[in-house]
Structure 1
């Protein structure tokens, strides 16, 4: 029996943002898979169903390895890598490493209303001083271990959707909030890149990314008239956008 991975198949790997887990893609994954798209969602160490693994040692490199570990375990050969919110930091680090170690494995990066770092930036680099201090202060009750999630109304959610996300969010490891990410920008920028801009309501902390992708060459920008968690509020529309990207990456 031949169990080797199909080298022509383009898969989608979904990486959630802060306080979330793979659970947040539960409305998107069935739509992708029913359309025949090989799709996977990773839960980063310390959150979601892996919240019991919370520890002071969790940093950006832990989360980068989480994603690479899934890609390697599933023996994926061609990957559209999607990072939501904070995970823009993570997929940038993944891209830098895989472009060096396994060029050709990644076919497209999708920044879903996501942080977009320059080399040496931390997740906090483009936040306002007020936001940065508020998150530092919020980490103090845990001794700097983690900081708690906001109410999901911040993400433009209401009613049952808001309650669903609030029940599932878990504290975010704090160390990685201030940790700089060093990477080779030319290596990452060599990949096809799409930014999905969620505009109604637009999350303030994503404003620098929003402006950057409209001022630099090489970006495909797609707008969605929904809030910061489109995998919850508009799963069908998001799934279609991702299917279109995956189809283009497969040609």
Structure 2
């Protein structure tokens, strides 16, 4: 089974390093993507980066690696990205996994689910610097060495993606199996509308993990087991 892992805001491919070895050891091919302008690509940040840019980044990996029946995993803001990619490349995918992630409706942007106060603060930062400053890792339930590591590695998020709406064919997305991984302890407030949304919509499987917003760091084994379960189910569907 092929996996493509897409990080959330301020992160990069580095955040998956505790999960990737387990996927490889189980015999899966797994690729972690760093989106334009963040991670080791932070030096490439520019004002023209949009949601479509990040979707291009992920689609390019799927095309270059000739992936088929891939499990596409998006964390946090990465939910916007994987939805955009799935709208383009649905026949190449077998499952979508939203890890405490944004689950947009057609026409929504990343900012759509945020409170007015959050929107105002982030737009002010974008107007000033062109980017959104990294969040405090404590908000993700991280402490000690993990918090220090994330604080070192986070980079500003390109501001052009914040209010960029995503138009897509909802029926195309709904035709794919979808899993939402709900990180409950502590639960990140900006994801609360998404938790409610997936529980109110048909076709979703919800897996709860009692950890914070960065489970690939704070609970990598639990996240790994959830992903392996998704792979097993996808394999069973593909061979039935």
TM-score bracket for the superposition, by shorter chain length: over 0.9
Partner of 1:4: none
Count of paired positions: 236
Inter-partner Cα distance in structure 1 for 2:147 and 2:75: 18
CA contact (8 A) 1:15 1:87 kept: yes
Inter-partner Cα distance in structure 1 for 2:167 and 2:101: 18
Inter-partner Cα distance in structure 2 for 1:163 and 1:214: 34
Deviation of residue 41 (structure 1)? 0.4
Inter-partner Cα distance in structure 2 for 1:250 and 1:44: 28
Partner of 1:5: none
Cα deviation, 1:204-238, whole Å, max 9, x if unaligned, reads: 00011100111111000000000000000011110
201-210 vs 32-41, greater mean Cα deviation: 32-41
Cα deviation, 1:121-161, whole Å, max 9, x if unaligned, reads: 0000010000000101122331xx21110110010100100
Inter-partner Cα distance in structure 2 for 1:159 and 1:140: 33
1:110 corresponds to 2:97: yes
Cα deviation, 1:172-224, whole Å, max 9, x if unaligned, reads: 00011001000010111100000000000000000111001111110000000
* SS at structure 1 position matched to 2:110: coil
Inter-partner Cα distance in structure 1 for 2:217 and 2:179: 20
Deviation of residue 168 (structure 1)? 0.1
| Structure 1 gaps, min length 5 | 1-9
Inter-partner Cα distance in structure 1 for 2:221 and 2:102: 23
Cα deviation, 1:59-99, whole Å, max 9, x if unaligned, reads: 00000010000111111112000000001000000011112
Partner of 2:152: 167
Equivalences for residues 62-73 of structure 1 within 5 A: 62-73=53-64
1:131 corresponds to 2:118: yes
1:17 corresponds to 2:1: no
Partner of 2:185: 200
State the TM-score, normalizing by the size of structure 2: 0.97
* SS at structure 1 position matched to 2:97: strand
* SS at structure 2 position matched to 1:58: coil
1:191 corresponds to 2:176: yes
14-23 vs 210-219, greater mean Cα deviation: 210-219
* SS at structure 2 position matched to 1:40: strand
Inter-partner Cα distance in structure 2 for 1:187 and 1:176: 23
CA contact (8 A) 1:68 1:94 kept: yes
What is the CA RMSD across the aligned residues, in angstroms? 0.7
Inter-partner Cα distance in structure 1 for 2:46 and 2:27: 38
Inter-partner Cα distance in structure 1 for 2:46 and 2:74: 23
| Structure 2 gaps, min length 5 | none
CA contact (8 A) 1:37 1:243 kept: no
State the TM-score, normalizing by the size of structure 1: 0.93
The counterpart of 2:127, out of the listed 127, 133, 140, is 140
Structure with the higher fraction of residues in helix conformation: 2
* SS at structure 2 position matched to 1:31: helix
* SS at structure 1 position matched to 2:149: helix
Write out the 4+ residue segments of structure 1 that deviate beyond 6 Å after TM superposition: none
